[in-house]
Chains A and B, each alone.
Chain A
């Protein structure tokens, strides 16, 4: 068995495999298929200050090697999470990371402050990159000043590991990464979904109620790998890579490009056991390549 443990800020993960927010529910949806404790951790779905109903149906359409979604951060709010969901999640030993989102800088700070009080939450992932909400979300993630402002506010409210999730819908993602690093982010995760659109030509209407949505799945992987590689050259903080990881082989692509850990998203919909298969693959890969510790392979490209 190779050493698979990695460190993100003060967060020690047993292995580099996490789940991407919004694709793994609260973890429990997958408990019939895998042992959740065998993951490095799981990132639960986007949580906001107030409950949100999300966007109207239809919210999803399959596209070549991927899918567009426009869920729009449907969730029951941070207070509901703390009272009803968090207690159930504490029975798992793997790390629980909460993804947070908001429409205003103060909302992010308030959610972060509430989560800071929970002993089993050692990290949050700040979503400044959701393309599916009208205000906030990606608006913060597409300018260096917006990204910096959110990071600064959350940093003041949260004293554990702070991960900022970056949008790929920018001209130069390294600028944004540097901006959040300068404001005290412990890590960056990338990429969130790529903004896209698909039209039903027979009905002459867009497939999604919101017209545009976020593209995920295998189709986005080369874009994501490129961005992880670029950001790895630009910042000193660790990177969590995601975007179209469908297998262990794909996960290794991100690690070699510079990711310390990886998140598996859309692939969970197709194979609910894929995360544990990726953990096994990474171990096997290390042994096959004569590497005793996964950390020796991070960013060697």
Chain B
């Protein structure tokens, strides 16, 4: 299914002030932030689950911005949530930003998860920090009368992310590499995958998403994946983050980051 709803979406560059910062695992921080200008209302930005933000790194820690999934938007408190993992100089500078610091962010970017393939019993699979966009998507589904099932994977018990928050919207199943919590082994070996779901949505490491896509294909379930190719601009100008698709090379930032697996050449 072709997705190009960004054509109608508006992008904004906004200064945010960090209001809350919390380590949710040994190497992941949940940052909550609100527009520095209180007149800027997130509810007017039409942010959709699965979209991302381009975050300027504090003190020019890196040359380019860093793309980060939008984890959740708290419309009542006018707060944006980002889940940031320590993955290098850029993300480290962002995650270490203290309460009161300012982050310059371009958002909302790309296409989010599509409802067209959803059905009544979607399974949302997240690996590591890839759980982030599943929170907003789970809330969105619940608000639309659909109860999602979550399946999340982590290295061990200490690295399981967002379990409590996700469980507000649907049952959560967990796999850990060492078996210290939930099923032992890979996410895609979790027992819950023996059951039938109406659709699969996944975000996480590429091997995990490819394995999830293979299961979806085998069981004839529609599937969307969220890619994270290395990006330059994030707005479809530099043509760096391309993915090979049935339409040729397309920008993950603009045509994705969420793709139906039928569009991707790697599923074959």
| Interface set of A (CB-CB < 8 Å, partner B) | 22-25, 29-30, 32-33, 45, 53-54, 57-67, 69, 71, 74, 217-218, 268-273
Instruction: For A72, give the chain B residue with the smallest CB separation.
Output: B239
Cβ of B79 < 8 Å from any Cβ of A?
Answer: no
Cα of A67 to Cα of B106 in the assembled complex, Å: 20
Cα of A65 to Cα of B62 in the assembled complex, Å: 8
Looking at the assembled complex, report how far the CB atom of A113 sits from the nearest CB atom of chain B, in whole angstroms: 26
Cα of A54 to Cα of B250 in the assembled complex, Å: 11
Residues of A within 8 A of B229 (CB): 57-58
User: Are A60 and B230 in contact, with the CB atoms below 8 A?
Assistant: yes
Cα of A109 to Cα of B241 in the assembled complex, Å: 31
Cα of A33 to Cα of B11 in the assembled complex, Å: 8
User: Are B237 and A71 in contact, with the CB atoms below 8 A?
Assistant: no
User: Are B240 and A59 in contact, with the CB atoms below 8 A?
Assistant: yes
Residues of B within 8 A of A22 (CB): 238-239
Interface string of B102-120 (1 = CB under 8 A from A): 0000100000000000000
Task: Give 8 A-B contacts (CB < 8 Å), ordered by A residue.
Answer: A23-B238, A25-B235, A30-B237, A54-B242, A57-B249, A62-B63, A63-B63, A270-B63
User: Are A269 and B239 in contact, with the CB atoms below 8 A?
Assistant: no
Main secondary structure, interface of B, reads: loop
Cα of A272 to Cα of B107 in the assembled complex, Å: 12
Interface string of B1-30 (1 = CB under 8 A from A): 000000000111100000000000000000
Cα of A30 to Cα of B235 in the assembled complex, Å: 8
- Residue from A32, A66, A268, A271 in contact with B11 in the complex, judged by beta carbons closer than 8 Å: A32
User: Are B65 and A32 in contact, with the CB atoms below 8 A?
Assistant: no
With A53-B249, A54-B239, A218-B63 already in contact, the answer to whether A269 and B12 are too (CB < 8 A) is no
Residues of B within 8 A of A61 (CB): 230
User: Are B239 and A272 in contact, with the CB atoms below 8 A?
Assistant: no
| Interface set of B (CB-CB < 8 Å, partner A) | 10-13, 56, 62-65, 106, 229-244, 248-249
User: How many CB-defined contacts (below 8 Å) exist between A and B?
Assistant: 84
Looking at the assembled complex, report how far the CB atom of A23 sits from the nearest CB atom of chain B, in whole angstroms: 6
Cα of A210 to Cα of B62 in the assembled complex, Å: 24
Cα of A63 to Cα of B244 in the assembled complex, Å: 25
User: Are A67 and B64 in contact, with the CB atoms below 8 A?
Assistant: yes
User: Are B13 and A69 in contact, with the CB atoms below 8 A?
Assistant: no
User: Are B232 and A69 in contact, with the CB atoms below 8 A?
Assistant: yes
Instruction: For A75, give the chain B residue with the smallest CB separation.
Output: B239
Looking at the assembled complex, report how far the CB atom of A250 sits from the nearest CB atom of chain B, in whole angstroms: 14
- Residue from B10, B63, B236 in contact with A67 in the complex, judged by beta carbons closer than 8 Å: B63
Looking at the assembled complex, report how far the CB atom of B229 sits from the nearest CB atom of chain A, in whole angstroms: 6
User: Are A59 and B236 in contact, with the CB atoms below 8 A?
Assistant: no
Cα of A33 to Cα of B106 in the assembled complex, Å: 10
Looking at the assembled complex, report how far the CB atom of B106 sits from the nearest CB atom of chain A, in whole angstroms: 7
Residues of A within 8 A of B233 (CB): 23, 29, 268-269, 272
Cα of A61 to Cα of B229 in the assembled complex, Å: 11
User: Are A62 and B239 in contact, with the CB atoms below 8 A?
Assistant: no
User: Are B232 and A29 in contact, with the CB atoms below 8 A?
Assistant: no
User: Are B238 and A74 in contact, with the CB atoms below 8 A?
Assistant: no
Looking at the assembled complex, report how far the CB atom of B22 sits from the nearest CB atom of chain A, in whole angstroms: 28
Looking at the assembled complex, report how far the CB atom of B104 sits from the nearest CB atom of chain A, in whole angstroms: 8
Residues of B within 8 A of A268 (CB): 233, 237
Cα of A30 to Cα of B10 in the assembled complex, Å: 10
- Residue from B10, B63, B242, B244 in contact with A59 in the complex, judged by beta carbons closer than 8 Å: B242
Cα of A117 to Cα of B233 in the assembled complex, Å: 32
Instruction: For A27, give the chain B residue with the smallest CB separation.
Output: B237
Looking at the assembled complex, report how far the CB atom of B70 sits from the nearest CB atom of chain A, in whole angstroms: 17
Cα of A202 to Cα of B232 in the assembled complex, Å: 22
User: Are A272 and B235 in contact, with the CB atoms below 8 A?
Assistant: yes
Cα of A67 to Cα of B10 in the assembled complex, Å: 27
Cα of A25 to Cα of B236 in the assembled complex, Å: 7
User: Are A269 and B238 in contact, with the CB atoms below 8 A?
Assistant: yes
User: Are A25 and B63 in contact, with the CB atoms below 8 A?
Assistant: no
Can you add 4 more A-B contacts, CB < 8 Å, to A25-B235, A57-B243, A62-B63?
A33-B13, A45-B239, A57-B249, A60-B238
Interface centre among B62, B229, B230, B244 (most CB of A within 10 A): B230
Looking at the assembled complex, report how far the CB atom of B65 sits from the nearest CB atom of chain A, in whole angstroms: 6
